[in-house]
Structure 1
Amino acid sequence: MESHTSMFEKKIPLVLPYDLEREIFELTARAFPGHALKLCTLSRYVQEWMEAIIYETVVLELPLITVQLFLKTFYSRPASFFAKNVKRIYVTSIIDFDEARQVLAACSGATTVICWADRLGSKENIFQAISPQHVERMSIKLCSFWGGLPRPHQFTGAVFPNLSHLEIVCPPSVLCPFPIEWEGLRELPGLTHLALGHLWHSVHLHLLPFFEKALAEYLNLKVLLLLSNDEDFVDALDKMNILRDTRVVVQEEFNSTTTLVEYWETIRQGGPDFWASADGVIMSPLGYRKVANIE
């Protein structure tokens, strides 16, 4: 009788199903940003789950210490680690062009690719460093993206079958050797969001007819986001009736009404990027409006 009672008094360890345990850890890590690093110390398999969350979104931007910590990890891990885990990669001009190419090449599974690194005379380009068939959202400078290729290239559905969101940063002037291939963009099967900026009256008036063409002929286009704080350029858009189209949004800065620090921290935590604010304007009953940047 005594042994029978003691048997029931013993604590039987609770063993959760593997998938349920993983879900609990992942929900905890996402609900409490910053805790994933602590959870990594529990076990090898929990570390693997947490690293998938930690490296899901990579932002290489100030503060510099976060860039240095990432690069330390980058050079100590195999490329397969980043190909498996990184889904969104944001590279500003804080690292040099060749290093940016190395990072992008390793993150071959990324569906969001943002790279603003400047080519600065390099013979290489960004296009040959990425895996375009996976990319759904992209923000690039055309000179850095195509530069160094022996012949002009353009966006095509065969190369970018899944591209839905495209931002062209620092759009070329009329004299640039890397013009925007509007015909190629029209053929992209999934392109619904197009952004260009920054735009200036003295440099980019030649683009206005193409904006009209895109709004008329890109049948799947839902948002045309134009980044400009040049009042003369915005007035030119208005005079050509481009602003009457309810798909057009004008913002002064890509970070809209948040500070840069707040914007990048939101991105680091897996939050929405600038496309979300543009979508919000389109869905509002007011239609077009100019979104002012924070002071």
Structure 2
Amino acid sequence: MSLDFPVLPPELEREIFEEVATQWPETIPSLLLVSHRVYEWIEKIKYRTVTSTGELSTCSLATLRRAIQSNSKAPSFFHTHVRHLFVRRLFRGKETENMMLPEILRVCTGIQSLAFIRCGIPSSLLPTLATLRPRQLWMRIDSLVFETDLCRPMLTCVTHLALWDRVTSIHSDIAAWLSLLAMFPSLTHLMIIAAKPSLAPHILASSKKFKVLVTYSDISGKELDNADDRYVNIGVHKFAEQWLMGTRGGNNFWARAEAFIAKKRRGEIQPVWRYWIEDADGI
């Protein structure tokens, strides 16, 4: 008996469905209804990237919390499959929202990329955070300053750190800065929001382990005569979209900064002292 439609190998079929779910998360509810086998593939992706409202991601905090509370899956499922968490202004909302995050973080201990954008972190949450080992961390520095010993275990595996506040106006002491950064033994990529370029040489001179130092601001112009080639001013872009792009392996600001540095080292950036990205760079 011949079939009148093509049959794809299961491996290829799975790859197609997973790619669609990853690149277009809004299709996930429909994909879950296709078949039992597709449901098994896509459900794991559904909880991969979580944001406060679910916008542009695969899942919202409320949806994840309901799934955890349903006890339909073992905690190990969420430990394995929840990989990225983005929180914005969580603690300005309702009390029920304030209670979501501790419960979620106690179960989702395998998070690799953790972002707290434009919101403070209450001290009551720090013991729970200390159990995590993220690779990428995006937060306000004042959340760490007075609780560094408690948070130190969380910082050991961080390779990419973005500090979200006007840190130079709060902590202008370079020695204090370097002491703070020393608590990140694996750190190779650092982004400082709204920082002046004059801060970059002091940080980069302190360690050769840094591969990239980015300032995320609208500052441009020749403020440094001989900028270290590891320093890039990325300019202002939509931060949430950039973060989410990175979770999908896209060309986010980390990738763009690395591409700029590579071009600069090949002599493709002119003038040679320029440390900010321009549209003509094609990055």
CA separation of 1:215 and 1:110: change in aligned 2, threshold 3 A: same
Q: Secondary structure at the match of 1:58?
A: strand
Alignment-derived partner of residue 40 in structure 2: 48
Match of 2:163 among 137, 148, 168: 168
Q: For the Cα contact (< 8 Å) 1:105–1:130, is it kept in 2?
A: no
Q: For the Cα contact (< 8 Å) 1:168–1:196, is it kept in 2?
A: yes
Q: CA deviation at 1:222?
A: 0.9
Q: Secondary structure at the match of 2:208?
A: coil
TM-score by length of 2: 0.69
Alignment-derived partner of residue 221 in structure 1: 210
Do residues 57 (structure 1) and 49 (structure 2) align? Answer: yes
TM-score by length of 1: 0.67
Match of 2:62 among 67, 72, 77: 72
User: Which amino acid in the other structure matches residue 139 of structure 1?
Assistant: W
Alignment-derived partner of residue 187 in structure 2: 191
Alignment-derived partner of residue 246 in structure 1: 229
CA separation of 1:250 and 1:132: change in aligned 2, threshold 3 A: same
Alignment-derived partner of residue 128 in structure 2: 128
Alignment-derived partner of residue 277 in structure 1: 256
CA separation of 1:60 and 1:268: change in aligned 2, threshold 3 A: farther
User: Which amino acid in the other structure matches residue 113 of structure 1?
Assistant: L
C-alpha separation in 2, matches of 1:34 and 1:269: 14
CA separation of 1:51 and 1:83: change in aligned 2, threshold 3 A: same
CA separation of 1:189 and 1:228: change in aligned 2, threshold 3 A: same
Q: Secondary structure at the match of 2:179?
A: helix
Q: CA deviation at 1:58?
A: 2.3
C-alpha separation in 1, matches of 2:91 and 2:202: 36
* Matched residue count: 257
Alignment-derived partner of residue 72 in structure 2: none
C-alpha separation in 2, matches of 1:128 and 1:172: 28
C-alpha separation in 2, matches of 1:165 and 1:153: 20
More displaced stretch, 212-221 vs 99-108:
99-108
User: Which amino acid in the other structure matches residue 113 of structure 2?
Assistant: T
Q: Secondary structure at the match of 1:196?
A: strand
Of structures 1 and 2, the larger Rg is shown by 1
C-alpha separation in 2, matches of 1:187 and 1:260: 25
User: Which amino acid in the other structure matches residue 140 of structure 2?
Assistant: K
Alignment-derived partner of residue 142 in structure 1: 141
C-alpha separation in 2, matches of 1:175 and 1:31: 39
Alignment-derived partner of residue 291 in structure 1: 277
Structure 1: which 5+ residue stretches go unaligned?
Answer: 1-8
Q: Secondary structure at the match of 1:35?
A: helix
Q: For the Cα contact (< 8 Å) 1:155–1:181, is it kept in 2?
A: no
C-alpha separation in 2, matches of 1:274 and 1:215: 19
Match of 1:212 among 201, 204, 218: 201
User: Which amino acid in the other structure matches residue 290 of structure 1?
Assistant: W
Q: CA deviation at 1:140?
A: 0.8
Q: For the Cα contact (< 8 Å) 1:197–1:226, is it kept in 2?
A: yes
CA separation of 1:292 and 1:10: change in aligned 2, threshold 3 A: closer
C-alpha separation in 2, matches of 1:167 and 1:153: 20
C-alpha separation in 1, matches of 2:235 and 2:246: 19
Do residues 91 (structure 1) and 77 (structure 2) align? Answer: no
Residue identity (%): 24
Q: For the Cα contact (< 8 Å) 1:60–1:92, is it kept in 2?
A: yes
CA separation of 1:72 and 1:289: change in aligned 2, threshold 3 A: same
C-alpha separation in 2, matches of 1:53 and 1:191: 28
Alignment-derived partner of residue 119 in structure 2: 118
Q: For the Cα contact (< 8 Å) 1:125–1:146, is it kept in 2?
A: no
C-alpha separation in 2, matches of 1:94 and 1:128: 16
Q: Secondary structure at the match of 1:76?
A: helix
Match of 2:30 among 28, 38, 44: 38
Q: CA deviation at 1:49?
A: 1.6
